[in-house]
Amino acid sequence: MTDAVGSIDMPDAQDEAPESRKKTRKGGKRGKKGPLKRLALFYRQVIAELRKVVWPTRSQLTTYTTVVIVFVVIMIALVTVIDYGFNQAVKYVFG
């Protein structure tokens, strides 16, 4: 029984790829360079990416730091209150 795409016994023509079209890769560009050259390339790329970074100004950094510290203090207070509540509930239930 065949459908619009084909049957199980007869694969579609597009599924069959001739062996001559398959490409095998041996090493590529990285295979031709030594480990020190690859390491130097890595560091050059890291420095190039760091130059693209938009660094915050001092006032933005101060604002962001303040927001993070306030958020952390609020979360600590919330967890402390919840922990104290659970502690009191466990003492009430189990004596």
Task: Determine contact, residues 34/41, Cβ cutoff 8 Å.
Answer: no
Q: What is the pLDDT of residue 32?
A: 72
Asked if 5 and 12 touch (Cβ cutoff 8 Å), the reply is yes
3-17 b/e (C-beta count within 10 Å ≥ 16 → b)? eeeeeeeeeeeeeee
More confident residue, 62 or 17: 62
Q: What is the pLDDT of residues 7-49, one digit of tens each?
A: 566 656 565 555 555 566 565 555 577 889 999 999 999 999 9
Q: What percent of the chain has pLDDT over 70?
A: 67
* pTM as predicted: 0.49
